[in-house]
Chains A and B, each alone.
Chain A
């Protein structure tokens, strides 16, 4: 590098301002620990082991007849779908007149290491569906799965199609061999049998590692620089801290579930080949014959579109829609784009079938 000109005083000023912002930050903003992530009012409808079924309070006088259950991912917690009143997936659906339930998988401990795919699909998810059917006196519900939660929901819908009226798959993990993300590369090389036998559950620290290698400099440096630069911008800071708190809340994944997950989805790719078994039952994607709405994000660096889209072509449904959005994995569910485009499209599709 050549250095000849003098440094612009504005640059020095910028650096000094940035330093001041870093020093002033603790006085201006709350610590992530002090932030409550539960935004939209809800009640806890059912508790089984560490899982909770949340039922959101309606925001409209009239509601669609068919209730909607959201099966959130296994990584991090459900709060991202209700992270901020202006960007809340849940609130938007409530405002569109849907009766919304959310399955919170909770935080498994060492004693949950033997929980497997069967427990999640035929145990927790099924009991929530049955509970909602009883509670709302309906024979079928609408089911939405996000990310890994969509994979669980896919297995459930294939095994219990009689309970699902409409199925929405948002960034589902389906075809592991087509996944081009860093996570899939690491997953393919892990001796998952040895990992689970030695340490039990998939530790949250390991999840942190997997996320920290995704866009390491953008995520590891730039976003924190932006945070301190915008420390006076209340809206920006509030949103930043909420998302950061959500990112840091990474519960462990039960060992047996994680083992089957890595082996069947990423290493052997059994689900899309219709070769996967859950609790001794065969998963045949052709049995998914109800209306299907698949949502995929072009810039998804956690679940690549090539991994999600095969679901659209593999199911037996005649009424199926595939939507591709110009955003990322989280942008699809918690951004202004999701409020302006993703949710209105989903709401319209769902209301016509609810």
Chain B
């Protein structure tokens, strides 16, 4: 195999990592199983997950950087254009208080207008949406890694806690409905 594209390279290293962690785990799991209740056993069982997540984080990081660079490029381009406009409008250095106040007003108005125009634009919205999306994917991988560590310490994962929250929310809704029904029945009896 001769990986070429960044995706092929990532997939290759992911496979390599999974192959060796799986194989070492299989070779070593029998004597390890004797201490199956300890945290190290639990951690070792799912440690390959951490390796996989780290490789995927690296891949996502490259995509994230692309949108992050574009984000700052848009900001710096807008800054340059706005500054040029200010220089054209106020070619002289302000020398007294009135001139300085007028310069400041012009500077703020031009910068606010240009930046608001940028933030209102389709190109900014689109890139920003993708940037946030990639950031969320990185967060997801980080959560997955944290879950491995949490589970090795016999603590509930984020998904398990979410299940409890969901159940609690559903129960609260049912109780509220029952309370309303009970109140209505009491009122009907009167």
Interface residues of A (CB under 8 A from B): 1-3, 5-8, 10-11, 14, 49, 110-111, 113-115, 119, 123, 180-182, 185-186, 188-191, 194-195, 198-200, 213-218, 221-222
Contacts and interface: CB of A to CB of B under 8 A. Distances in A.
Given A7-B95, A123-B176, A185 B133 contact: no
16 contacts: A10-B97, A49-B172, A113-B162, A113-B165, A180-B120, A186-B119, A186-B125, A186-B128, A188-B125, A194-B133, A194-B136, A199-B136, A213-B119, A216-B112, A216-B115, A218-B112
A182 B116 contact: yes
B169 A115 contact: yes
B129 interface: yes
A259 B90 CA distance: 46
Interface of B: 87, 90-97, 100, 104, 107-108, 111-112, 115-116, 119-122, 124-126, 128-129, 132-133, 136-137, 139-140, 143, 161-162, 165-166, 168-170, 172-173, 176
Given A111-B165, A111-B168, A189-B125, A8 B97 contact: yes
B136 A191 contact: yes
Contacts of A123: 173, 176
Instruction: Tell me what chain B mostly uses at the interface: helix, strand, loop, or mixed.
Output: helix
Given A8-B96, A114-B166, A185-B119, A198 B126 contact: no
B59 to A, nearest CB: 17
A217 B108 contact: yes
Given A189-B128, A198-B136, A1 B96 contact: no
B132 A190 contact: yes
Contact of A1 (B91, B107, B129, B143): B91
A195 B115 contact: no
A191 B132 contact: yes
A2 B91 contact: yes
Contacts of A186: 119, 125, 128-129
A198 B129 contact: no
A5 B125 contact: no
B170 to A, nearest CB: 8
Contacts of B87: 1
A119 B35 CA distance: 48
Contacts of A14: 97, 100
B54 to A, nearest CB: 18
B125 A199 contact: no
Given A11-B100, A185-B120, A185-B125, 5 more contacts: A181-B120, A188-B125, A191-B132, A198-B143, A216-B116
A114 B162 CA distance: 9
A217 B126 contact: no
Contacts of B93: 1-3
A114 B112 contact: no
A198 B139 contact: yes
Closest 4 A-B residue pairs measured CB to CB?
A189-B129, A8-B96, A114-B169, A189-B125
B140 to A, nearest CB: 5
A7 B121 CA distance: 40
Nearest to A187: B125
Contacts of A119: 173
A185 B116 CA distance: 11
B125 to A, nearest CB: 4
A6 to B, nearest CB: 7
Contacts of A6: 95
A111 B163 CA distance: 10
Contacts of B128: 186, 189
A11 B170 CA distance: 65
B161 to A, nearest CB: 8
A186 B124 CA distance: 9
